[in-house]
Structure 1
Amino acid sequence: MRLAFWNNKKTTTTTTTTTEVKKKKKKSVAREWLDAAVFAIVAATIIRTFFIEAYTIPTGSMEGSLLINDYLFVSKMSYGPRIPMTPLAVPLVHNTMPVTGGKSYSESVQWKYRRLPGFGKVERNDIVVFNYPAGDTVAMEVQQEVDYYTLVRAYGREQVHGMYTIMTRPVDKKENYIKRCVGIPGDKLEVRNGVVYVNDKPGQQFPHSQTSYVVRTNGQPIPTDILDDNEIDQPIVVGNGVFVFTLDPAEVAFIKKQPQVAAVEPYLNKPGETSPNPAEWVYPHDTANFKWNRDNYGPITIPKKGSSIMLTPQNIALYRRIIANYEGNKLEEQSGQFVINGTPTNVYTFKMDYYWMMGDNRHNSADSRYWGFVPEDHVVGKAWFVWLSYGPHGIRWSRLFRGVTTLSE
């Protein structure tokens, strides 16, 4: 408001401004906690998506390099962080809501596969976290014990759908697995009598890798306390004085020295031997054209982006899932002829790189021998270091804050 004062000598103007000083309202304690929680969730989500994420080893498939109840961090930056393909999801939850169950995400928005630049690519013998390739369809009641496709081969699709609740999942919401990459794109891979060969040369042997051995004794078992003191799992009793142990090379040497032991030999499937049980078939689950088993497998060539394959009725089982499921083509097979996206052809060119993943515990690992190739869009990150580990006797102090590469040596 302006006020003017006049006198006979001069005119003086005085201006008075009325300012309302508003005190900023102080946030309530509840509001402060809410703001802090939102900030923490956003920050944790960004870190989890683009930098590092914590995982737990739930099974013995990587023993003895990684042990059950090893807690480790996985680097997303090693291979480049993957942009979420299913962006509408509850933060910090993978695919299932805690307590209530049900999906923790919406499939109403789906983005194409994209990956930001990283420090490098997946290398041979890296320990890698990835989405389980065969996890696009799950039988919810038994998803932790057996995959959907194994159930269908064993019991038939109609019976499985009648017995279980069936759910489908997008790529980035499939279950997470951790294995060692033994083959990279373009590699020729074969398993001969339990030994992995890459490009016709024996693959790297890791000192803690385990497999099964038949141990024959004089009829007496090795005392339980001796096995416990040396952290050797109790064996399966096959017959009088015959046991099956899961051992690494150092444990094999120890068992051979026991006075009651007469012989120790690898427990292997013979070449060309296939199981009559469909649930035990290896990939590509075609025993007519591929008489392979867990110990004698291949040879195969791991698909590489841009490379081409000649398709035949004899080899289509190897590539059918890649063409139709992973790379999203419409594949039709008509009297031995192939039609892809409406075009007759007998040649296919791969759109992505693929990898071959296997567990270090070779006879206790559901890996690529059973479900095939791992597409590049399924790769999550590289196992980095163990930050916590505990076993039956408490915390394993010697494993804390040690790199995964070091623990493999």
Structure 2
Amino acid sequence: MSSLTAVLYGALIVYLGGWFMGYWMGNFALLLFILTLVTMVYWLAERLRFRPAREAAAAQLEAQAASRRAELAKMGIEKVDGDVAEARRKVLAQPWWLDWTAGLFPVIVVVFVLRSFLFEPFKIPSGSMIPTLLVGDLILVNKFHYGIRLPVINKKIVQNNDPQRGDVVVFRYPVDPRVDYIKRVVGLPGDEVSYLNKQLTINNKPVPTSPLPDFYDEDSLRYAQQFSEKLGAVEHRILIDKDRPSFIPGNHVFPNSSACRYSAEGVSCKVPEGHYFVMGDNRDNSQDSRYWGFVPDQNIVGKAFFVWMNFGNLSRIGSFH
């Protein structure tokens, strides 16, 4: 078993090393699921076989020591060398390969349950959600707000709330579901969403906005026009870059792309059933539904709601809309 455990740990190190070096794309949810299963097998084996065997060996050791002492006592020898307690402790001790498998199972299973069904942490890698979320923000995502989904395959088994306009959601990128994206829900199933000349319109009604002081982006060292926007019941901030076009044409072929119409002014789309139209708050610096299409409901991971850490700016910690 020690050799098998060494091989498993070696495979884990190779997998994590290749993932870190960029040789392949990892799947943390799958990895955590496999680790939970493997450590559970070791944990059960420890409870049902290995620990009872060690306890039986320790009991036999004590019985043999007691028998030996009794025999020596009959011969008038009262003082006997040997520390049975120390020998018993060594017999009962877990070997390293159980300590690093069965011993880790309780921790891994708690992390697996929390991450799969309750809350999952993410790191913001890009500036597409500025000013709401900054690069380096570490956020929490509510995994049960939109329903309970099976881990790894992300299949919904219990329905809860539906995504609403203004929600900030994490989802599996439709182009490559191995990658997680974060955007704001703008259009619900059946909505007509237009972004023309930097004005967002939903069902032929302009989304209310009001100007705010310009936002200074410390990464790009530039100022951007900042507005307060109200989507449904959610009021949040967006950025507009007056020097960039409303829309950058490209090859916009994706599932249900026939529901979108493109022009020099921007794009208009009819959101299909079971799908959502999402956009970044940094409107002119975001690759979103305008470019790669709609987000299917089955791709949604959860609702982002809290910044739990930003090592460069502790004042970022707190909830957001």
Query: Does TM, scored on the shorter chain, surpass 0.5?
Result: yes
Q: Secondary structure at the match of 2:139?
A: strand
Task: Report the AA paired with residue 267 of structure 1.
Answer: D
The residue number in structure 1 matching 2:263 is 292
| Structure-2 separation of matches of 1:115 and 1:284 | 24
Change (3 A) 1:29 1:284: closer
Q: Does residue 134 in structure 1 map to residue 188 in structure 2?
A: no
Give the C-alpha shift of residue 210 in structure 1.
8.8
Identical positions, percent: 32
Question: For the Cα contact (< 8 Å) 2:124–2:134, is it kept in 1?
Answer: yes
Q: Does residue 356 in structure 1 map to residue 272 in structure 2?
A: no
Question: For the Cα contact (< 8 Å) 2:225–2:242, is it kept in 1?
Answer: no
Give the C-alpha shift of residue 114 in structure 1.
3.0
Give the C-alpha shift of residue 130 in structure 1.
0.2
Question: For the Cα contact (< 8 Å) 1:64–1:209, is it kept in 2?
Answer: no
Any residues of structure 2 matched to 1:232-381 within 5 Å, and which?
Answer: 233-235=220-222, 245-249=223-227, 266-267=242-243, 269=245, 275=249, 280-282=250-252, 290-292=261-263, 296-298=266-268, 300-304=269-273, 353-381=274-302
Any residues of structure 2 matched to 1:377-388 within 5 Å, and which?
Answer: 377-388=298-309
The residue number in structure 1 matching 2:22 is none
The residue number in structure 1 matching 2:206 is 202
Change (3 A) 1:366 1:47: same
Q: Aligned match of 1:116 in 145, 157, 164?
A: 157
What is the TM-score with the length of structure 1 in the denominator?
0.48
The residue number in structure 2 matching 1:108 is none
The residue number in structure 1 matching 2:92 is 26
Structure holding more helix per residue: 2
| Structure-2 separation of matches of 1:115 and 1:132 | 17
The residue number in structure 1 matching 2:195 is 191
Task: Report the AA paired with residue 35 of structure 1.
Answer: A
Task: Report the AA paired with residue 226 of structure 2.
Answer: D
Give the C-alpha shift of residue 194 in structure 1.
0.9
| Structure-2 separation of matches of 1:209 and 1:42 | 47
Q: Secondary structure at the match of 1:266?
A: coil
Give the C-alpha shift of residue 209 in structure 1.
11
Name structure 2 gaps, 5 residues minimum: 1-57, 63-87, 229-239
**Count of equivalent residues:** 222
Give the C-alpha shift of residue 34 in structure 1.
3.3
1:285-342 C-alpha deviation (Å, 9 max, x unpaired): 989x94435x5211x22111xxxxxxxxxxxxxxxxxxxxxxxxxxxxxxxxxxxxxx
Change (3 A) 1:290 1:176: same
1:38-76 C-alpha deviation (Å, 9 max, x unpaired): 221122112111111100000000001000000011010
The residue number in structure 2 matching 1:324 is none
Q: Secondary structure at the match of 1:43?
A: helix
The residue number in structure 2 matching 1:44 is 111
| Structure-1 separation of matches of 2:203 and 2:136 | 35
The residue number in structure 1 matching 2:47 is none
Change (3 A) 1:283 1:67: farther
| Structure-2 separation of matches of 1:373 and 1:46 | 29
Any residues of structure 2 matched to 1:27-176 within 5 Å, and which?
Answer: 27-28=93-94, 30=96, 31-84=98-151, 86=153, 114-117=155-158, 119-135=160-176, 171=177, 174-176=178-180
1:255-307 C-alpha deviation (Å, 9 max, x unpaired): xxxxxxxxx9923537xx874xxxx34456989x94435x5211x22111xxx
Q: Aligned match of 1:181 in 185, 188, 211?
A: 185
Change (3 A) 1:387 1:296: same
Give the C-alpha shift of residue 232 in structure 1.
7.9
The residue number in structure 1 matching 2:80 is none
Q: Secondary structure at the match of 1:398?
A: helix
Give the C-alpha shift of residue 377 in structure 1.
0.6
Q: Secondary structure at the match of 1:116?
A: strand
